Structure 1
Amino acid sequence: MTRPYAEVIGDPIAQSKSPRIHGFWLEKLGIAADYRAFHVTPEQLPDYIAARRADPLWRGCNVTMPHKQAVMPLIDGIGSPATEIGAVNTVYPGSGGGLSGTNTDASGFLEPLKRDLEKTHYFRMARILGTGGAARAIIAALAGHGFTLVVAGRDPAKARALLDELAPKGEHHAIDLAHFADPTDFPFDDREGCLDLVVNASSLGMAGQPPLPFDWSHAPPGAIAYDIVTAPLDTPFLQAARARGHRTIDGLSMLIGQAAVAFEKFFGEAPPREHDAELRAILTQ
Protein backbone atom coordinates (compact mmCIF):
# COMPACT_ATOMS: atom_id res chain seq x y z
CA MET A 1 0.00 0.00 0.00
CA THR A 2 1.69 3.20 -1.17
CA ARG A 3 -1.06 5.81 -0.81
CA PRO A 4 -3.65 6.70 1.83
CA TYR A 5 -6.42 4.20 2.33
CA ALA A 6 -9.46 3.37 4.44
CA GLU A 7 -11.36 0.11 4.65
CA VAL A 8 -14.36 -1.73 5.98
CA ILE A 9 -13.85 -4.61 8.38
CA GLY A 10 -16.17 -7.41 9.46
CA ASP A 11 -16.74 -11.15 9.58
CA PRO A 12 -17.94 -11.88 6.91
CA ILE A 13 -17.10 -8.90 4.70
CA ALA A 14 -17.18 -10.00 1.04
CA GLN A 15 -20.79 -8.83 0.64
CA SER A 16 -20.04 -5.22 1.64
CA LYS A 17 -20.99 -2.45 -0.80
CA SER A 18 -18.82 0.10 1.02
CA PRO A 19 -15.79 -0.24 -1.31
CA ARG A 20 -17.94 0.63 -4.32
CA ILE A 21 -19.52 3.59 -2.53
CA HIS A 22 -16.28 5.12 -1.28
CA GLY A 23 -14.41 4.22 -4.46
CA PHE A 24 -17.05 6.02 -6.52
CA TRP A 25 -16.69 9.19 -4.44
CA LEU A 26 -12.88 9.05 -4.47
CA GLU A 27 -12.90 8.84 -8.26
CA LYS A 28 -15.42 11.67 -8.65
CA LEU A 29 -13.35 13.95 -6.40
CA GLY A 30 -10.01 12.93 -7.89
CA ILE A 31 -8.61 11.93 -4.50
CA ALA A 32 -5.53 9.71 -4.72
CA ALA A 33 -6.57 7.21 -2.09
CA ASP A 34 -8.05 3.72 -1.83
CA TYR A 35 -10.87 2.05 0.03
CA ARG A 36 -11.09 -1.72 0.43
CA ALA A 37 -12.81 -4.52 2.32
CA PHE A 38 -10.67 -6.40 4.84
CA HIS A 39 -11.76 -9.59 6.57
CA VAL A 40 -11.16 -9.48 10.33
CA THR A 41 -12.33 -12.23 12.66
CA PRO A 42 -13.14 -11.47 16.32
CA GLU A 43 -9.86 -13.06 17.36
CA GLN A 44 -7.91 -10.87 14.95
CA LEU A 45 -9.53 -7.56 15.95
CA PRO A 46 -7.02 -6.45 18.64
CA ASP A 47 -4.04 -7.16 16.37
CA TYR A 48 -5.76 -5.40 13.46
CA ILE A 49 -6.28 -2.22 15.48
CA ALA A 50 -2.72 -2.32 16.79
CA ALA A 51 -1.28 -2.72 13.29
CA ARG A 52 -3.35 0.14 11.84
CA ARG A 53 -2.28 2.49 14.62
CA ALA A 54 1.27 2.15 13.33
CA ASP A 55 0.41 2.71 9.65
CA PRO A 56 0.73 6.39 8.62
CA LEU A 57 -1.23 5.74 5.41
CA TRP A 58 -4.32 4.39 7.20
CA ARG A 59 -7.18 6.87 7.37
CA GLY A 60 -9.67 4.73 9.28
CA CYS A 61 -12.22 1.99 8.90
CA ASN A 62 -15.91 1.32 8.87
CA VAL A 63 -16.81 -1.40 11.36
CA THR A 64 -19.51 -3.95 10.62
CA MET A 65 -20.80 -6.93 12.54
CA PRO A 66 -19.67 -8.51 14.77
CA HIS A 67 -17.18 -5.82 15.84
CA LYS A 68 -19.28 -2.70 16.59
CA GLN A 69 -19.12 -3.18 20.35
CA ALA A 70 -15.94 -5.25 20.60
CA VAL A 71 -13.87 -2.45 19.04
CA MET A 72 -14.85 0.09 21.70
CA PRO A 73 -12.30 -0.83 24.40
CA LEU A 74 -9.54 -0.96 21.76
CA ILE A 75 -9.70 2.73 20.81
CA ASP A 76 -8.94 5.93 22.71
CA GLY A 77 -11.97 8.19 22.42
CA ILE A 78 -15.64 7.61 21.62
CA GLY A 79 -17.85 10.53 20.70
CA SER A 80 -21.56 11.12 20.48
CA PRO A 81 -23.77 9.45 19.30
CA ALA A 82 -21.70 6.27 19.66
CA THR A 83 -21.65 6.68 23.44
CA GLU A 84 -25.45 6.83 23.57
CA ILE A 85 -25.90 3.98 21.07
CA GLY A 86 -23.28 1.80 22.70
CA ALA A 87 -21.71 0.82 19.38
CA VAL A 88 -19.01 2.18 17.06
CA ASN A 89 -19.15 1.79 13.29
CA THR A 90 -16.41 4.25 12.28
CA VAL A 91 -12.84 4.46 13.59
CA TYR A 92 -10.34 7.08 12.47
CA PRO A 93 -7.13 8.79 13.66
CA GLY A 94 -8.10 11.60 16.01
CA SER A 95 -6.54 15.04 16.18
CA GLY A 96 -4.78 14.17 19.43
CA GLY A 97 -2.93 11.23 17.96
CA GLY A 98 -5.11 8.43 19.27
CA LEU A 99 -7.96 6.59 17.58
CA SER A 100 -11.45 8.05 17.71
CA GLY A 101 -14.73 6.24 17.26
CA THR A 102 -18.18 7.39 16.27
CA ASN A 103 -21.43 5.96 14.95
CA THR A 104 -22.82 7.14 11.61
CA ASP A 105 -25.67 4.61 11.46
CA ALA A 106 -28.11 6.90 13.25
CA SER A 107 -27.51 9.89 10.97
CA GLY A 108 -27.56 7.64 7.91
CA PHE A 109 -30.88 6.14 8.98
CA LEU A 110 -32.45 9.54 9.60
CA GLU A 111 -31.22 11.17 6.37
CA PRO A 112 -34.13 10.13 4.10
CA LEU A 113 -36.58 11.15 6.85
CA LYS A 114 -35.21 14.69 7.15
CA ARG A 115 -38.17 16.43 5.52
CA ASP A 116 -40.64 14.44 7.59
CA LEU A 117 -38.82 15.25 10.82
CA GLU A 118 -38.79 18.98 10.03
CA LYS A 119 -42.59 19.00 10.30
CA THR A 120 -44.59 19.26 13.51
CA HIS A 121 -46.69 16.21 14.41
CA TYR A 122 -49.29 15.50 17.06
CA PHE A 123 -47.79 12.07 17.57
CA ARG A 124 -44.92 9.98 16.25
CA MET A 125 -44.79 6.19 16.44
CA ALA A 126 -42.33 3.65 15.04
CA ARG A 127 -42.67 -0.09 14.93
CA ILE A 128 -39.10 -1.43 14.86
CA LEU A 129 -38.71 -5.06 13.82
CA GLY A 130 -35.48 -6.57 15.08
CA THR A 131 -33.16 -6.35 18.07
CA GLY A 132 -29.71 -6.69 16.48
CA GLY A 133 -26.84 -4.24 16.12
CA ALA A 134 -28.56 -1.95 13.62
CA ALA A 135 -31.62 -1.70 15.86
CA ARG A 136 -29.51 -0.03 18.56
CA ALA A 137 -28.79 3.00 16.39
CA ILE A 138 -32.35 3.16 15.07
CA ILE A 139 -33.91 3.00 18.55
CA ALA A 140 -31.63 5.75 19.85
CA ALA A 141 -32.17 7.93 16.77
CA LEU A 142 -35.96 7.73 16.80
CA ALA A 143 -36.28 8.11 20.56
CA GLY A 144 -34.29 11.32 20.20
CA HIS A 145 -36.87 12.65 17.74
CA GLY A 146 -39.89 12.12 19.92
CA PHE A 147 -41.13 8.76 18.68
CA THR A 148 -43.06 6.31 20.79
CA LEU A 149 -41.43 2.99 19.99
CA VAL A 150 -42.72 -0.54 19.64
CA VAL A 151 -39.72 -2.87 19.36
CA ALA A 152 -40.51 -6.40 18.21
CA GLY A 153 -38.09 -9.30 18.46
CA ARG A 154 -38.05 -13.05 18.65
CA ASP A 155 -36.95 -12.47 22.26
CA PRO A 156 -39.19 -9.74 23.75
CA ALA A 157 -36.96 -9.59 26.84
CA LYS A 158 -34.06 -8.47 24.66
CA ALA A 159 -36.30 -5.85 23.05
CA ARG A 160 -37.24 -4.58 26.52
CA ALA A 161 -33.60 -4.45 27.58
CA LEU A 162 -32.69 -2.38 24.50
CA LEU A 163 -35.49 0.09 25.25
CA ASP A 164 -34.47 0.36 28.90
CA GLU A 165 -30.87 1.05 27.88
CA LEU A 166 -31.33 3.28 24.84
CA ALA A 167 -34.71 4.96 25.37
CA PRO A 168 -35.38 4.97 29.12
CA LYS A 169 -37.75 7.93 28.87
CA GLY A 170 -41.18 7.54 27.31
CA GLU A 171 -43.83 4.85 27.23
CA HIS A 172 -42.25 2.42 24.80
CA HIS A 173 -43.29 -1.18 24.26
CA ALA A 174 -41.52 -4.51 23.63
CA ILE A 175 -43.40 -7.38 21.99
CA ASP A 176 -42.88 -10.69 20.25
CA LEU A 177 -42.17 -10.39 16.53
CA ALA A 178 -44.78 -13.10 15.93
CA HIS A 179 -47.46 -10.60 16.96
CA PHE A 180 -47.20 -8.98 13.53
CA ALA A 181 -47.28 -12.18 11.49
CA ASP A 182 -51.04 -12.71 11.25
CA PRO A 183 -53.64 -10.28 9.89
CA THR A 184 -55.50 -7.97 12.25
CA ASP A 185 -58.70 -5.97 11.98
CA PHE A 186 -57.51 -3.33 14.47
CA PRO A 187 -59.39 -0.05 13.83
CA PHE A 188 -56.70 2.61 13.60
CA ASP A 189 -57.67 6.09 14.75
CA ASP A 190 -57.35 9.23 12.63
CA ARG A 191 -53.65 9.49 11.70
CA GLU A 192 -53.77 12.97 10.15
CA GLY A 193 -50.95 15.03 11.63
CA CYS A 194 -49.12 11.90 12.82
CA LEU A 195 -45.90 10.29 11.63
CA ASP A 196 -45.84 6.49 11.57
CA LEU A 197 -42.90 4.29 10.61
CA VAL A 198 -42.51 0.54 10.21
CA VAL A 199 -38.81 -0.34 10.15
CA ASN A 200 -37.24 -3.68 9.35
CA ALA A 201 -34.05 -3.38 11.39
CA SER A 202 -33.27 -7.08 11.09
CA SER A 203 -31.64 -9.32 8.47
CA LEU A 204 -34.95 -11.10 7.85
CA GLY A 205 -35.85 -10.89 4.18
CA MET A 206 -32.20 -10.69 3.14
CA ALA A 207 -31.00 -13.17 0.54
CA GLY A 208 -30.33 -16.45 2.30
CA GLN A 209 -32.34 -15.47 5.39
CA PRO A 210 -35.91 -16.40 6.37
CA PRO A 211 -38.68 -14.01 5.30
CA LEU A 212 -39.86 -11.22 7.59
CA PRO A 213 -43.21 -12.19 9.15
CA PHE A 214 -45.10 -8.89 8.94
CA ASP A 215 -48.68 -8.41 7.80
CA TRP A 216 -49.37 -4.86 6.66
CA SER A 217 -52.78 -4.79 8.32
CA HIS A 218 -50.76 -3.90 11.45
CA ALA A 219 -49.63 -0.58 9.94
CA PRO A 220 -51.82 2.52 10.15
CA PRO A 221 -52.78 4.38 6.94
CA GLY A 222 -49.98 6.63 5.73
CA ALA A 223 -47.21 4.75 7.55
CA ILE A 224 -43.76 4.79 5.93
CA ALA A 225 -42.11 1.41 5.28
CA TYR A 226 -38.32 1.44 5.80
CA ASP A 227 -36.18 -1.65 5.19
CA ILE A 228 -32.45 -1.58 5.96
CA VAL A 229 -31.81 -4.76 3.93
CA THR A 230 -29.78 -4.09 0.77
CA ALA A 231 -29.74 -7.55 -0.88
CA PRO A 232 -32.27 -7.76 -2.37
CA LEU A 233 -32.92 -4.04 -2.49
CA ASP A 234 -36.63 -4.34 -3.23
CA THR A 235 -37.63 -6.77 -0.50
CA PRO A 236 -40.97 -8.57 -0.15
CA PHE A 237 -41.54 -6.32 2.89
CA LEU A 238 -41.33 -3.20 0.70
CA GLN A 239 -43.29 -4.78 -2.15
CA ALA A 240 -46.15 -5.64 0.19
CA ALA A 241 -46.07 -2.13 1.64
CA ARG A 242 -46.37 -0.51 -1.80
CA ALA A 243 -49.26 -2.83 -2.65
CA ARG A 244 -51.07 -1.38 0.38
CA GLY A 245 -50.29 2.19 -0.71
CA HIS A 246 -47.44 2.93 1.70
CA ARG A 247 -44.42 5.06 0.89
CA THR A 248 -41.19 3.04 1.00
CA ILE A 249 -37.51 3.68 1.78
CA ASP A 250 -34.91 1.07 0.84
CA GLY A 251 -31.67 0.02 2.49
CA LEU A 252 -29.38 1.96 0.17
CA SER A 253 -30.69 5.20 1.65
CA MET A 254 -29.25 4.39 5.06
CA LEU A 255 -26.12 2.76 3.64
CA ILE A 256 -25.17 5.76 1.49
CA GLY A 257 -26.13 8.23 4.22
CA GLN A 258 -23.94 6.64 6.88
CA ALA A 259 -21.07 6.21 4.41
CA ALA A 260 -21.15 9.92 3.59
CA VAL A 261 -20.41 10.92 7.18
CA ALA A 262 -17.59 8.39 7.44
CA PHE A 263 -16.07 9.45 4.10
CA GLU A 264 -15.57 12.99 5.37
CA LYS A 265 -13.88 11.65 8.52
CA PHE A 266 -11.49 9.55 6.43
CA PHE A 267 -10.65 11.85 3.54
CA GLY A 268 -11.44 15.38 4.73
CA GLU A 269 -13.93 16.23 1.99
CA ALA A 270 -17.69 15.90 1.71
CA PRO A 271 -18.71 13.28 -0.86
CA PRO A 272 -20.36 14.51 -4.10
CA ARG A 273 -23.97 13.64 -3.26
CA GLU A 274 -25.23 15.21 -6.47
CA HIS A 275 -24.23 11.92 -8.10
CA ASP A 276 -26.40 9.72 -5.84
CA ALA A 277 -28.58 8.53 -8.72
CA GLU A 278 -25.52 7.33 -10.64
CA LEU A 279 -24.14 5.66 -7.52
CA ARG A 280 -27.42 3.86 -6.90
CA ALA A 281 -27.40 2.57 -10.47
CA ILE A 282 -23.90 1.15 -9.96
CA LEU A 283 -24.81 -0.49 -6.67
CA THR A 284 -27.87 -2.21 -8.13
CA GLN A 285 -26.15 -3.69 -11.18
Structure 2
Amino acid sequence: MTARINRDTRLCMSLSARPGNFGTRFQNYLYEALGLDYVYKAFSTTDLAGAITGIRALDIRGCAVSMPFKEACIALIDGLEPSAAAIDSVNTIVNTGGVLRGHNTDYAAVASLIADSGLSTRTCVALRGSGGMGKAVACALRDAGFADGTIVARNAVAGQRLARQAGWAWAADMGGVSASLLVNVTPVGMDGGPEAGQLAFTEAEVAAADLIFDVVAIPVETPLIRLARALGKPVITGGQVIVLQAVEQFVLYTGVRPDQALIAKAAAHALA
Protein backbone atom coordinates (compact mmCIF):
# COMPACT_ATOMS: atom_id res chain seq x y z
CA MET A 1 0.00 0.00 0.00
CA THR A 2 2.80 2.46 0.87
CA ALA A 3 4.17 2.31 -2.68
CA ARG A 4 0.81 3.49 -4.00
CA ILE A 5 0.61 6.64 -1.86
CA ASN A 6 0.27 9.66 -4.13
CA ARG A 7 -0.79 13.31 -4.07
CA ASP A 8 -4.47 12.34 -4.04
CA THR A 9 -4.23 9.88 -1.12
CA ARG A 10 -6.58 10.86 1.72
CA LEU A 11 -5.07 10.90 5.19
CA CYS A 12 -6.93 9.79 8.31
CA MET A 13 -5.37 9.86 11.76
CA SER A 14 -5.85 9.44 15.48
CA LEU A 15 -4.97 11.58 18.49
CA SER A 16 -4.22 9.95 21.84
CA ALA A 17 -1.99 10.53 24.83
CA ARG A 18 -0.66 7.00 24.31
CA PRO A 19 -1.09 6.00 20.66
CA GLY A 20 -1.59 2.32 19.94
CA ASN A 21 -1.45 0.29 16.76
CA PHE A 22 -5.01 -1.01 16.56
CA GLY A 23 -6.53 1.80 14.51
CA THR A 24 -3.57 2.01 12.17
CA ARG A 25 -3.58 -1.72 11.49
CA PHE A 26 -7.37 -2.03 11.25
CA GLN A 27 -8.03 0.93 8.99
CA ASN A 28 -5.05 0.37 6.68
CA TYR A 29 -5.95 -3.32 6.30
CA LEU A 30 -9.43 -2.34 5.09
CA TYR A 31 -8.15 0.41 2.80
CA GLU A 32 -5.82 -2.05 1.10
CA ALA A 33 -8.36 -4.88 0.93
CA LEU A 34 -10.95 -2.59 -0.66
CA GLY A 35 -8.53 -0.73 -2.92
CA LEU A 36 -9.23 2.65 -1.33
CA ASP A 37 -6.75 5.50 -1.76
CA TYR A 38 -6.45 6.27 1.96
CA VAL A 39 -3.75 5.94 4.60
CA TYR A 40 -4.06 6.08 8.39
CA LYS A 41 -1.48 7.19 10.98
CA ALA A 42 -1.60 7.49 14.78
CA PHE A 43 -0.31 10.62 16.53
CA SER A 44 0.05 12.10 19.99
CA THR A 45 0.27 15.81 20.76
CA THR A 46 0.97 18.34 23.48
CA ASP A 47 -0.75 21.01 21.37
CA LEU A 48 -4.34 19.95 20.82
CA ALA A 49 -5.42 23.27 19.30
CA GLY A 50 -2.54 23.10 16.82
CA ALA A 51 -3.39 19.50 15.94
CA ILE A 52 -7.03 20.34 15.26
CA THR A 53 -5.97 23.33 13.15
CA GLY A 54 -3.76 20.94 11.20
CA ILE A 55 -6.68 18.64 10.44
CA ARG A 56 -8.50 21.53 8.84
CA ALA A 57 -5.48 23.13 7.17
CA LEU A 58 -4.15 19.89 5.64
CA ASP A 59 -7.57 18.54 4.62
CA ILE A 60 -7.17 15.43 6.76
CA ARG A 61 -10.37 13.47 6.20
CA GLY A 62 -10.94 12.09 9.68
CA CYS A 63 -9.45 11.79 13.13
CA ALA A 64 -10.13 9.27 15.89
CA VAL A 65 -9.93 10.91 19.32
CA SER A 66 -8.89 9.06 22.47
CA MET A 67 -8.01 9.94 26.07
CA PRO A 68 -7.55 12.67 27.20
CA PHE A 69 -8.88 14.69 24.25
CA LYS A 70 -12.50 13.52 23.91
CA GLU A 71 -13.98 16.50 25.72
CA ALA A 72 -11.24 19.10 25.22
CA CYS A 73 -11.56 18.92 21.42
CA ILE A 74 -15.20 20.03 21.43
CA ALA A 75 -14.43 23.74 21.72
CA LEU A 76 -12.04 23.48 18.77
CA ILE A 77 -14.37 21.99 16.14
CA ASP A 78 -17.37 23.36 14.26
CA GLY A 79 -20.20 21.27 15.68
CA LEU A 80 -21.43 17.97 17.05
CA GLU A 81 -23.54 15.21 15.58
CA PRO A 82 -26.31 13.86 17.87
CA SER A 83 -24.18 10.87 19.01
CA ALA A 84 -21.61 13.28 20.48
CA ALA A 85 -23.90 16.15 21.48
CA ALA A 86 -26.00 13.86 23.67
CA ILE A 87 -23.01 12.99 25.85
CA ASP A 88 -20.60 15.92 25.31
CA SER A 89 -17.83 13.58 24.21
CA VAL A 90 -16.18 13.12 20.82
CA ASN A 91 -14.24 10.09 19.63
CA THR A 92 -14.32 10.88 15.89
CA ILE A 93 -13.85 14.07 13.91
CA VAL A 94 -14.93 14.13 10.27
CA ASN A 95 -13.64 16.88 7.98
CA THR A 96 -15.95 17.80 5.10
CA GLY A 97 -14.61 20.70 3.07
CA GLY A 98 -12.91 22.26 6.08
CA VAL A 99 -15.91 21.85 8.39
CA LEU A 100 -15.07 19.65 11.38
CA ARG A 101 -17.93 17.71 12.97
CA GLY A 102 -17.70 15.54 16.07
CA HIS A 103 -19.23 12.08 16.36
CA ASN A 104 -19.17 9.37 19.02
CA THR A 105 -18.99 5.84 17.64
CA ASP A 106 -18.19 4.44 21.10
CA TYR A 107 -21.79 5.13 22.10
CA ALA A 108 -23.20 3.18 19.15
CA ALA A 109 -20.83 0.26 19.75
CA VAL A 110 -21.71 -0.02 23.44
CA ALA A 111 -25.45 0.26 22.75
CA SER A 112 -25.22 -2.60 20.26
CA LEU A 113 -23.25 -4.86 22.61
CA ILE A 114 -25.57 -4.21 25.55
CA ALA A 115 -28.61 -4.98 23.39
CA ASP A 116 -27.02 -8.24 22.26
CA SER A 117 -26.17 -9.25 25.84
CA GLY A 118 -29.82 -9.88 26.70
CA LEU A 119 -29.29 -8.35 30.15
CA SER A 120 -32.44 -7.14 31.90
CA THR A 121 -32.68 -3.37 32.26
CA ARG A 122 -33.60 -3.99 35.90
CA THR A 123 -29.99 -5.02 36.46
CA CYS A 124 -28.06 -2.76 38.83
CA VAL A 125 -24.84 -1.32 37.40
CA ALA A 126 -21.53 -0.22 38.89
CA LEU A 127 -19.40 1.73 36.43
CA ARG A 128 -15.86 2.54 37.52
CA GLY A 129 -14.50 5.71 35.90
CA SER A 130 -15.78 9.09 34.76
CA GLY A 131 -13.92 10.12 31.59
CA GLY A 132 -15.03 10.38 27.98
CA MET A 133 -15.47 6.65 27.51
CA GLY A 134 -17.36 6.53 30.79
CA LYS A 135 -19.83 9.03 29.36
CA ALA A 136 -20.38 6.91 26.26
CA VAL A 137 -21.00 3.74 28.27
CA ALA A 138 -23.11 5.31 31.02
CA CYS A 139 -25.32 7.17 28.55
CA ALA A 140 -25.72 4.12 26.31
CA LEU A 141 -26.85 2.14 29.36
CA ARG A 142 -29.12 4.97 30.51
CA ASP A 143 -30.73 5.23 27.09
CA ALA A 144 -31.22 1.46 26.99
CA GLY A 145 -33.27 1.74 30.18
CA PHE A 146 -30.78 0.89 32.94
CA ALA A 147 -32.00 3.21 35.72
CA ASP A 148 -30.26 1.64 38.74
CA GLY A 149 -26.58 2.51 38.56
CA THR A 150 -23.64 3.93 40.45
CA ILE A 151 -20.69 5.85 39.05
CA VAL A 152 -17.65 4.83 41.07
CA ALA A 153 -15.00 7.51 40.69
CA ARG A 154 -12.39 9.03 42.99
CA ASN A 155 -12.75 12.36 41.18
CA ALA A 156 -15.83 13.67 42.95
CA VAL A 157 -16.51 16.53 40.54
CA ALA A 158 -16.35 14.40 37.37
CA GLY A 159 -18.00 11.42 39.04
CA GLN A 160 -20.97 13.39 40.35
CA ARG A 161 -21.36 15.20 37.03
CA LEU A 162 -21.55 11.90 35.14
CA ALA A 163 -23.88 10.44 37.77
CA ARG A 164 -26.27 13.37 37.25
CA GLN A 165 -26.05 12.94 33.48
CA ALA A 166 -26.94 9.26 33.74
CA GLY A 167 -29.49 9.75 36.52
CA TRP A 168 -27.50 7.41 38.78
CA ALA A 169 -25.80 7.56 42.16
CA TRP A 170 -22.14 8.37 42.78
CA ALA A 171 -19.64 6.74 45.13
CA ALA A 172 -15.94 7.35 45.62
CA ASP A 173 -15.24 3.60 45.91
CA MET A 174 -17.00 0.23 45.86
CA GLY A 175 -17.54 0.16 49.60
CA GLY A 176 -21.25 -0.52 50.11
CA VAL A 177 -21.93 -0.77 46.37
CA SER A 178 -23.29 -4.04 44.99
CA ALA A 179 -24.05 -4.58 41.32
CA SER A 180 -24.87 -7.33 38.86
CA LEU A 181 -23.22 -5.54 35.91
CA LEU A 182 -19.66 -4.36 36.54
CA VAL A 183 -18.15 -1.98 34.00
CA ASN A 184 -14.55 -0.77 33.95
CA VAL A 185 -13.92 2.39 31.92
CA THR A 186 -10.60 3.24 33.58
CA PRO A 187 -7.08 2.31 32.32
CA VAL A 188 -6.73 -0.30 35.07
CA GLY A 189 -5.38 -3.47 33.44
CA MET A 190 -4.13 -1.72 30.28
CA ASP A 191 -0.82 -2.90 28.85
CA GLY A 192 1.91 -0.35 29.32
CA GLY A 193 -0.04 1.67 31.86
CA PRO A 194 0.82 2.24 35.52
CA GLU A 195 -1.92 -0.20 36.58
CA ALA A 196 -1.20 -2.97 34.08
CA GLY A 197 -1.84 -6.38 35.60
CA GLN A 198 -4.24 -4.98 38.20
CA LEU A 199 -7.93 -5.69 38.70
CA ALA A 200 -10.57 -2.99 38.35
CA PHE A 201 -12.87 -4.95 40.69
CA THR A 202 -12.15 -7.49 43.41
CA GLU A 203 -12.64 -11.21 42.97
CA ALA A 204 -15.56 -11.11 45.41
CA GLU A 205 -17.25 -8.33 43.43
CA VAL A 206 -16.78 -10.24 40.18
CA ALA A 207 -18.06 -13.46 41.73
CA ALA A 208 -21.27 -11.69 42.82
CA ALA A 209 -21.94 -10.14 39.39
CA ASP A 210 -23.86 -11.49 36.40
CA LEU A 211 -21.84 -9.85 33.62
CA ILE A 212 -18.44 -8.14 33.40
CA PHE A 213 -17.69 -5.39 30.88
CA ASP A 214 -14.14 -4.08 30.50
CA VAL A 215 -13.53 -1.37 27.88
CA VAL A 216 -9.75 -1.84 28.00
CA ALA A 217 -8.83 -3.29 24.59
CA ILE A 218 -5.06 -3.82 24.92
CA PRO A 219 -4.84 -6.57 25.97
CA VAL A 220 -8.27 -7.93 25.08
CA GLU A 221 -7.87 -10.51 27.84
CA THR A 222 -7.35 -8.08 30.69
CA PRO A 223 -6.84 -9.33 34.26
CA LEU A 224 -10.52 -8.53 34.90
CA ILE A 225 -11.73 -10.44 31.84
CA ARG A 226 -9.48 -13.42 32.65
CA LEU A 227 -10.85 -13.53 36.20
CA ALA A 228 -14.44 -13.28 34.98
CA ARG A 229 -13.94 -16.13 32.52
CA ALA A 230 -12.31 -18.25 35.23
CA LEU A 231 -15.40 -17.70 37.40
CA GLY A 232 -17.72 -18.61 34.52
CA LYS A 233 -19.10 -15.11 34.05
CA PRO A 234 -20.23 -13.78 30.65
CA VAL A 235 -18.14 -10.84 29.47
CA ILE A 236 -18.08 -7.92 27.05
CA THR A 237 -14.53 -7.05 26.09
CA GLY A 238 -12.82 -3.89 24.99
CA GLY A 239 -11.81 -5.76 21.86
CA GLN A 240 -15.46 -6.04 20.87
CA VAL A 241 -16.01 -2.33 21.49
CA ILE A 242 -12.93 -1.16 19.64
CA VAL A 243 -13.79 -3.19 16.54
CA LEU A 244 -17.42 -2.02 16.35
CA GLN A 245 -16.56 1.63 16.87
CA ALA A 246 -13.67 1.44 14.37
CA VAL A 247 -15.99 0.05 11.70
CA GLU A 248 -18.30 3.03 12.16
CA GLN A 249 -15.32 5.39 11.90
CA PHE A 250 -14.26 3.68 8.68
CA VAL A 251 -17.74 4.19 7.24
CA LEU A 252 -17.77 7.86 8.24
CA TYR A 253 -14.40 8.46 6.57
CA THR A 254 -14.93 6.49 3.36
CA GLY A 255 -18.68 5.99 2.86
CA VAL A 256 -17.99 2.25 2.43
CA ARG A 257 -19.27 -0.47 4.80
CA PRO A 258 -17.16 -3.67 4.70
CA ASP A 259 -18.86 -7.04 5.00
CA GLN A 260 -18.63 -9.03 8.22
CA ALA A 261 -16.07 -11.50 6.87
CA LEU A 262 -13.68 -8.67 5.96
CA ILE A 263 -14.26 -6.92 9.27
CA ALA A 264 -13.36 -10.14 11.09
CA LYS A 265 -10.13 -10.45 9.10
CA ALA A 266 -9.21 -6.82 9.78
CA ALA A 267 -9.94 -7.25 13.51
CA ALA A 268 -7.82 -10.41 13.72
CA HIS A 269 -4.97 -8.59 11.96
CA ALA A 270 -5.22 -5.51 14.17
CA LEU A 271 -5.53 -7.40 17.46
CA ALA A 272 -2.77 -9.94 16.70
| Same fold per superposition (TM over 0.5) | yes
Indicate the residue corresponding to 2:95 in structure 1.
93
| One of 12, 16, 21 as aligned partner of 2:18 | 12
SS at structure 2 position matched to 1:34:
strand
Alignment of 1:123 with 2:122, yes or no, is yes
| One of 200, 211, 225 as aligned partner of 2:184 | 200
Which residue identity lines up with residue 6 of structure 1 in the other structure? C
Indicate the residue corresponding to 2:85 in structure 1.
83
- For residues 227-278 of structure 1, give each alpha carbon's deviation from its aligned partner in whole angstroms, at most 9, with x where no partner exists: 1112222112112112222111221111111111111111111133323443
Which residue identity lines up with residue 32 of structure 1 in the other structure? D
Q: 1:122 to 1:9 in 2, by over 3 A?
A: closer
Spell out structure 1 runs of 4+ moving beyond 4 A: 219-222
Indicate the residue corresponding to 1:191 in structure 2.
none
SS at structure 2 position matched to 1:7:
strand
Give RMSD over aligned pairs. Answer: 2.5
Q: 1:116 to 1:218 in 2, by over 3 A?
A: same
Which residue identity lines up with residue 55 of structure 2 in the other structure? R
Indicate the residue corresponding to 1:40 in structure 2.
45
Q: Distance in 2 between matches of 1:94 and 1:77?
A: 12
- For residues 148-168 of structure 1, give each alpha carbon's deviation from its aligned partner in whole angstroms, at most 9, with x where no partner exists: 21211224553222111x224
Q: CA deviation at 1:222?
A: 6.7
Indicate the residue corresponding to 2:135 in structure 1.
136
Identity of aligned residues (%): 27
- TM normalised by structure 2 equals 0.86
Q: 1:216 to 1:268 in 2, by over 3 A?
A: same
Alignment of 1:25 with 2:12, yes or no, is no
Q: CA deviation at 1:142?
A: 0.6
Q: Distance in 2 between matches of 1:38 and 1:55?
A: 15
Q: Distance in 1 between matches of 2:113 and 2:184?
A: 15
Q: Distance in 2 between matches of 1:71 and 1:222?
A: 36
SS at structure 2 position matched to 1:134:
helix
Indicate the residue corresponding to 1:114 in structure 2.
115
Q: Distance in 2 between matches of 1:52 and 1:112?
A: 31
Q: Which runs of 5+ in 2 are unaligned?
A: 1-5
- TM normalised by structure 1 equals 0.82
- For residues 73-123 of structure 1, give each alpha carbon's deviation from its aligned partner in whole angstroms, at most 9, with x where no partner exists: 11111111211211111111247x521111111112233333235x8x461
Quick check: 1:222–1:247 contact (8 Å CA) kept in 2? Answer: no
Quick check: 1:29–1:272 contact (8 Å CA) kept in 2? Answer: no
- For residues 4-30 of structure 1, give each alpha carbon's deviation from its aligned partner in whole angstroms, at most 9, with x where no partner exists: 1211112232x2411111112112212
| One of 247, 250, 262 as aligned partner of 1:260 | 247
Quick check: 2:151–2:171 contact (8 Å CA) kept in 1? Answer: yes
